[in-house]
Structure 1
Amino acid sequence: MDIRPESRLPWDDEQELLGLRVRAFFFDPATVGARHDWIDRALPVLTPVRPTTLHAAGERGQYAVAELIAHPDAVFEHGNGLICLLDRSEDQRDHDPATWPNGVRGDALVQAVVAAVAVAGQRQTPTVALLRCHNVLYQIDPSPAALECIATSIVPAKRYCGAEGSISVQQLAAYCEPRLRNLPAGGAVLTRSQCDIGFADTTPSVAGIAEA
């Protein structure tokens, strides 16, 4: 993805959690909630950049790779990739900018990445995972080890859950979360960074999702 000065985004913090690089953008939920356009409300960090939505407001598409089925809250085209959004803002719980790594739910982060894997797998397009909470938007980029863990866990997670047919994002994320916690740290942690959205390599290979 080309990096242009006008495309730089004002991320407030960046940490590594569960083998995932997580960027955080905090906002005033009342101000953002008053915006007329639902895309501006859903993706406040991108304003005034305008991604193109693949579904109408409130419409949840279905995406599948192997036996994983996802219904993300929104999917957008942006630049040369896709954005997969999970919206968990209805609980209206504020995340503290100073302590958010201890407050953000690990299962929600993993669910966002798993949903992005399904979108990327079906569309065969690099996809970035976003998680929107009440007063913060998170971008979650999986390390290669985390992505491999998720992509190779579809079949064993299905067996573990006793699922017949397909497996849901929630089931796969619940199976993967404790395994991701055991991954080694993937590198230096950056703070107060200003970063561009970079599309994660979330397109799983056929080998990665094949049953051993």
Structure 2
Amino acid sequence: PVTVIEVLPNRVTQLKSSEKDGYRAVQVTFGKKRPQLLSKAEAGHFAKANVEPGKSLVEFRLADKEGADLAVGAEIKADFFAAGQVVDVTGTTIGKGFAGVMKRHNFAGHHATHGVSVSHRTPGSIGQRQTPGRVFKGKRMSGHMGVVRRTIEKLKIVEIDAERNLLLISGAVPGSEGGQVVVRPSVKAARQANRRKVAPSKAPPAAKAAGGKK
């Protein structure tokens, strides 16, 4: 199965350089936002780039030789990617409301019978006695589930529909239907490719000093 992602045209609003900003990056915006909803700083930023105001700004880091063909005001569309490319997809997960430990943390629960009553789905003990006399931080308990930022790594692009600006990505991505996601080239896949290019160097064994003891 694949997930279909519509790539709204990403308009380049700023290019950051190592000399001026200390790092290289491209800043883009997408969608549309009414001018009356913009702050003065946002309106000035979009006007300087001569770009239609968008919903939000997203920044992507660039390597030393990346982004040479990008310019302020240019559009990045689905054909920026390639079929077969491995990407990371970031989005906000679906909200599940208040959930118990069995749903939220995959607890097994208690026995159905053998003396267990009205506590089949409870977490059980959450601590000790007088020592330490408290519940440790990070204890897995019931609570709000979902609506968190998640990144699914190393998903493969199966096909690209450049005419309709669609990406067909293998597997599931975080978020509900119609939600906003960020798609970027896989970080780990790039690191692994660089490791393959650079073969490990084997240093010659150190020569034994003359006259040394065995």
Bigger CA radius of gyration: 2
Higher normalized strand content (fraction of residues): 2
TM-score, length of structure 2 as denominator length: 0.25
Q: If each structure's helix is expressed as a fraction of its own residues, which one has the higher value? A: 1
If asked which structure has higher relative contact order (CA below 8 Å, sep 6+), I would say 1
